[in-house]
Structures are given as C-alpha cells and as structure tokens.
Amino acid sequence: MATPLSLADIQARLPQLSGWSLVNGKLHKQFVFSSFIQAFGWMSGVALVAEKLDHHPEWMNVYNRVTVDLVTHDAHGITDLDFELAERMNQLATG
C-alpha cells in the first residue's frame, strides 16, 4: 500500500505541478480543451496510463472541460502515485 504524504511534502511539491492545487484534501485541476473530442481523446489517453499505474482518477467531463481530483483512497491521502498521475496528465494535455 502507498504511504500518504505529509501536508508539508504536498505543499513543497505542488509548485512543480503546473496548474494543480490542493482542494478538500485532493490534488485538483480543471483541464480545458478546444472541443469535446479533444477532451475525450485526452481522457482516453489518461485511462491507459491510469490502468498501467493501477491508479484511477476522480474526474468529470462537461463538453471541453475535464475536472480532476486525485487521492489514493487505500492510503487515505495523497501519495506519490497521485503526483505521478498528475504529471502524466499534464504531459498528455500539452502533447
């Protein structure tokens, strides 16, 4: 099982994670794309990464926006896995 990071660790790492913030104990970001197809395509790419990591996001899609919250439920907090998936999401969003 993954180990939850301390609040100090999370706050120290957040500045290196473009566009992400800490909201209600989860890593949070809203991605905005040019169209629904672009948003859905990105989600499909993230789904493949998430499955490989065996770590799945909480997310919601409305047209060209995807709102994401990341937390490791088994660990009852944010872990390295959340930061890894957030970074991969950012990479996929920028191409």
Q: Which tens digits make up the pLDDT trace of 5-42?
A: 999 999 999 999 999 999 999 999 999 999 999 999 99
pLDDT at 1: 72
Single-letter amino acid, residue 62: V
Separation of alpha carbons 74 and 59, rounded Å: 18
pTM recorded for the entire structure: 0.96
pLDDT tens digits along 80-91: 999 999 999 999
Q: Angle, nearest 10°, between helix axes 36-53 and 80-94? A: 150
How much is the average pLDDT of 54-72? Answer: 97
Q: So what's the pLDDT on residue 44?
A: 98
Residues whose CB is less than 8 angstroms from the CB of residue 52 and which lie 6 or more positions away in sequence, other chains included: none
67-79: average pLDDT = 96
